[in-house]
Amino acid sequence: VNYLNSVPRNPAFFRDWQAKHNVASHDVPILSKKGASQKDSPETESTRYIFVPLQVNTDSQIVLFSPWVDNMEHLIRVLSAAASALGDQIPKIIIKTHPACDTDYSQLAAQLPSKRIELITSGDTPSLIANATGVVTINSTVGIEAILAGIPTLVLGQAFYAIEGLTLSAQDETTLASGLVELSSFTADEKLRAGWLHYLRHEYQVSGGWRKADDSHLAAMTDKIIQTVTSS
């Protein structure tokens, strides 16, 4: 998932992939809003909100690949400023802390404009994604989940899924504010999305996980290494 991975970034590559493999929308996974749990979530289906997942400040994704947002505290502040400036132009913003981060944001949370922005420390992330009108992330894997769910996504950092037509991007506070407004009307290019997801699942990804590697995962990794070496 790192920004420096080898996944192509050219939208035309994935549109060509979609056409070459005849990938239809129903051939790629999508998280149903109706199937998402509402348990332990502050939102309801009738509430419009943008979901923002915080990341770990010391993660390489933030240290190396977040050019203009310094850390999560800075992210909260720029979101707060945008929400205050835009007012009723955007839905409520729900920010959720990362479960692996022990930073205390309570003082900062107390200073938030309560009617437009809220910081929570618990809740079911898949439900928060699926029931959102949009997702804003620096470069979290939540961005991938949002694309899977068909949720409009705004990327603030360097991410391999920050591809024109697939997601929106913001490079500063001005484009963040305009991106928050644009999220409500943004729809990803479905051929691009279908090709991107199909490529990841059937070409790029190796099934299984290295933390609990079994024989099938090791065999798949071996095949991928051989394929990579012979094609280079």
> For the whole prediction, is pTM greater than 0.95?
no
pLDDT band at 40 (very low <50, low <70, confident <90, very high): very low
Torsion of CA 58, 61, 65, 66, to 10 degrees: -60
Q: How far apart are CA 87 and CA 73, in angstroms?
A: 21
> In this predicted structure, what is the pLDDT of residue 42?
52
Q: What residues contact residue 9 under an 8 Å CB cut-off, 6+ apart?
A: 160, 163
Q: How far apart are CA 215 and CA 61, in angstroms?
A: 30
Residue 23 region by backbone torsions, left for phi larger than 0, else alpha for psi between -120 and 50, else beta: beta
Q: 123-178, pLDDT tens digit by residue?
A: 899 999 999 999 999 999 999 999 999 999 999 999 999 999 999 999 999 999 99
Tokens 């012979």: give the residue: 230
Q: What is the CA radius of gyration of the chain?
A: 18
- For the sheet with 153-155, list strands across it: 117-120, 92-96, 49-53, 134-137, 153-155, 168-169
One-letter-per-residue 3-state SS of the chain? CCCCCCCCCCHHHHHHHHHHCCCCHHHCCCCCCCCCCCCCCCCCCCCCEEEEECCCCCCHHHHCCCCCCCCHHHHHHHHHHHHHHHHHHCCEEEEECCCCCCCCCHHHHHCCCCCCEEEECCCCHHHHHHCCCEEEECCCCHHHHHHHCCCCEEECCCCCCCCECCEEECCCHHHHHHHHHHHHHCCCCHHHHHHHHHHHHHHHCCCCCHHHCCHHHHHHHHHHHHHHHHHC
> In this predicted structure, what is the pLDDT of residue 29?
59
Evaluate whether 223 touches 231 at the Cβ level (below 8 Å): no
> In this predicted structure, what is the pLDDT of residue 12?
97
> In this predicted structure, what is the pLDDT of residue 31?
55
